[in-house]
Amino acid sequence: MTAESIEQRIQRAQSLRLKRMIWGFANHACTALAVIGLYLGGFLPMEPVLVFFASSLLCGTLLVLVLQFGINLRFKDPSMTMIQIIWPVIPSLYVMFFVALPQGRILFLLLATGGIMFGALALNRRQMLTIAWLFWLGYLGLVLVLGWLAPERIYWPLEAVTLFAYASVLSIVAYLGSFISELRHQLSIRNRELKHANVELVELATRDSLTSLPNRRTVMEQFEREVARSERQSPGPKALGISVLDIDHFKRINDTFGHQAGDEILRKVSRTIQATIRKGDYVGRIGGEEFLLIFPDTSPDHAVPAAERIRKAVEALRFDELPEGYRVTVSQGVTIHQVGETLQTTFKRADEALYQAKNSGRNQVLAA
Ligand SMILES: Nc1nc2c(ncn2[C@@H]2O[C@H](COP(=O)(O)OP(=O)(O)OP(=O)(O)O)[C@@H](O)[C@H]2O)c(=O)[nH]1
């Protein structure tokens, strides 16, 4: 699985925002259909209908442009949730002023309430309640202006009940919406924690906790992959070298200087091996003080010098845990994988060469 780059993540977020914006436009399109219906029914004159469509088109285009040019990325909320919920209400309020019948106005209240539900995708309770209050105050303002400029179109008892009902509905929608929003937020936190825990689990399953090197299973799997890769090479198989490395007299080190000193030596030797091998080579801890090194695309002439370089690097190490002049050394058995043989056969040959190296005085590399 490849990690997603920041650029790709931004692209993905932007296309999700565009999708949500289109849903918002669909909601506004329903309001537009209601406006057309009222016009066709003779409840609205032509002029406010035109203003409604012109302003809707302008706002919609502006929002799409802001998203297309990435201007929204500079905003505190790049999804522009508040803006997208509030803007459609302005042309709606304008049209409502001209609707002859009170029932006509109710349509807009219903449709605007649907728009608030978009807040459930991102807004917290305070923001949802703010929007609900703004909607309610917008409608109250409209009723007051109508009562002042066109009192014949306002029937106060009905408006008072409508305002009360609208406040109740808005409160419920705002509370439920913010509850959903909070659930989504918690879910995304849990998802992030799960991803993190997964990464840690993979680390635990594949790495050795003392040295942080790949563990036995991981290095053996890598060995298997490298064998398959080397045999697939064109024009013909490429040589694949391995070395089984073992720290000399490690039991004595443990017994004399303590287990903690032994652990520190294991860590330092591991770091040294890793720093000495070439890019593309691979090392893992396969047992207590035993390591497997893999040298892909390496001929026999190169595998032994590569192992020799590591032997010398370890021999040159100094350890605070050990007396001045005490040398930690390693022995290695090196071999080249022969096409067609099993991993076990290759490994056994290297292990036998290691055994020979141990028996011939240690601190040396033997090839088989
Ligand atoms: N400190 C420490 N010691 C370990 C760890 N894993 C294995 N050992 C010790 O490594 C020692 C390996 O001893 P042996 O297999 O006898 O090998 P050796 O003493 O290195 O002798 P040669 O390999 O013949 O040179 C044992 O004493 C183990 O307890 C570890 O994680 N930490």
Average pLDDT over residues 25-50: 94
**pLDDT tens, position by position, 195-225:** 999 999 999 999 999 999 999 999 999 999 9
DSSP state of 45: -
ipTM of the prediction: 0.94
Residue 5 scores a pLDDT above 90: no
Give the span between the Cα atoms of 307 and 304, in whole angstroms: 5
Residues 210-246: b if buried by 16+ CB within 10 A, e if exposed: ebebbbeebbbebbeebbeebeeeeeebbbbbbbbbb
Please tell me the predicted confidence (pLDDT) of residue 235.
65
**pLDDT tens, position by position, 245-275:** 999 999 999 999 999 999 999 999 999 999 9
Please tell me the predicted confidence (pLDDT) of residue 119.
83
pTM (2 d.p.):
0.65
Does ligand 1 have an atom closer than 6 angstroms to the CB of 253? no
Does ligand 1 have an atom closer than 6 angstroms to the CB of 204? no
**pLDDT tens, position by position, 162-192:** 999 999 999 999 999 889 988 989 999 999 9
CA 150 to chain centre: 57
Share of the chain above pLDDT 70, in %: 98
CA neighbours closer than 13 Å in the CB half-sphere of residue 90: 13
Higher pLDDT, 299 or 356: 356
* Nearest CA residue ID for atom 5, ligand 1: 288
**Residue whose CB lies within 8 A of the most ligand 1 atoms, among 215, 251, 267, 314, for a mutation test:** 251
Residue 117 scores a pLDDT above 90: no
Does ligand 1 have an atom closer than 6 angstroms to the CB of 226? no
Average pLDDT over residues 230-258: 88
Q: What kind and span of H or E run contains 17?
A: helix 6-40
Average pLDDT over residues 276-304: 92
Higher pLDDT, 237 or 62: 62
Please tell me the predicted confidence (pLDDT) of residue 103.
85
The residues, any chain, with a CB within 8 Å of residue 136's CB and separated by 6 or more, are: 163, 166, 167, 170
DSSP state of 159: H
DSSP state of 209: T
On average, the pLDDT of the chain sits at 92
Please tell me the predicted confidence (pLDDT) of residue 234.
65
Does ligand 1 have an atom closer than 6 angstroms to the CB of 266? yes
User: CA distances (Å), 131 to each of 29, 113, 176, 227, in order?
Assistant: 21, 10, 14, 64
78: preceding bond cis by omega (within 30 degrees):
no
Please tell me the predicted confidence (pLDDT) of residue 236.
65
Angle between helices 300-315 and 259-276 (to 10 degrees): 140
Please tell me the predicted confidence (pLDDT) of residue 223.
95
At 68, is the pLDDT very low, low, confident or very high (cuts 50, 70, 90)? Answer: very high
Residue 298 scores a pLDDT above 90: no
Residue 3 scores a pLDDT above 70: no
291 C-alpha vs ligand 1 centroid, how far in Å? 12
* Nearest CA residue ID for atom 14, ligand 1: 251
Residue 149 scores a pLDDT above 70: yes
Domains of the chain, first to last:
6-200 (no CATH), 216-367 (3.30.70.270)
Angle formed at CA 155 by CA 154 and CA 160, multiple of 5 degrees:
105
262 C-alpha vs ligand 1 centroid, how far in Å? 8
Q: Which ligand 1 atom sits closest to the C-alpha of 263?
A: 1
